[in-house]
A and B are shown apart, each in its own frame.
Chain A
């Protein structure tokens, strides 16, 4: 158990819909990262927040957005869903916003878009 929690575990929805994925980082971790893992693209970095502010952006679509709240939990919002958005979405956390610290990953949310 990494200490990072993600809800829900599974999500099934239809094309065109909007969903919200939630992540609670490990106690004391200020930085949250979101990653997407699909069969054809592998594990891809989406976005990072540090203490409530966006810190780095990766291959995140404009239809996707994220935020980190004052209690440090984070939400990833996916809208106008397409079949290709079906993937595993992982959240990770680390103590600070630095490459030196290891990241702890949550169990992931499996999104299926029908």
Chain B
């Protein structure tokens, strides 16, 4: 699985959009970008994933650059409950057992 680079920490004002970047310059054509988050020692929670098209669900949007070397997770209207560690994971889907390899992630602090 390709290596990812994320900022260690970020702040965001409550009600504003939180944009979390992830660099994955060595990503292969068959690797997907996944995002999970962990709220204060709770079990990680799946957010969204994508291959090359932008994706949106009820939690967030995922923007992947055209060369797929980086992506941005967008929380459109951040709330205090979005304060968490956000993990960007790049992994092959086909033929993979499904295990997740977590990096250090980005600690997002949403401030009132």
Contacts and interface: CB of A to CB of B under 8 A. Distances in A.
Interface string B57-85: 00000000000000000000000000000
Contact of A103 (B92, B100, B103): B100
Nearest to A105: B43
B43 A56 contact: no
Contact of B41 (A55, A88, A106): A88
A88 B85 CA distance: 16
A44 B102 contact: yes
A109 to B, nearest CB: 11
Interface in B14-62: 32, 38, 41-46, 49
A92 to B, nearest CB: 7
Contacts, number: 73
A99 B43 contact: no
Interface of chain B: mostly helix, strand, loop or mixed: loop
A47 to B, nearest CB: 9
Interface residues of A, number: 31
16 contacts: A35-B102, A42-B102, A42-B103, A43-B44, A43-B100, A43-B102, A56-B97, A88-B41, A92-B43, A94-B98, A97-B97, A98-B93, A98-B96, A99-B91, A99-B94, A104-B46
Given A55-B97, A97-B97, A98-B93, 20 more contacts: A33-B100, A42-B102, A42-B104, A43-B44, A48-B97, A48-B98, A58-B99, A92-B43, A92-B100, A94-B98, A96-B98, A98-B96, A99-B92, A99-B94, A100-B32, A102-B46, A103-B100, A105-B42, A105-B45, A107-B42
Interface of B: 32, 38, 41-46, 49, 87, 91-94, 96-104
Interface of A: 2, 4, 31, 33, 35, 42-45, 48, 50, 55-56, 58, 88, 90, 92, 94, 96-108
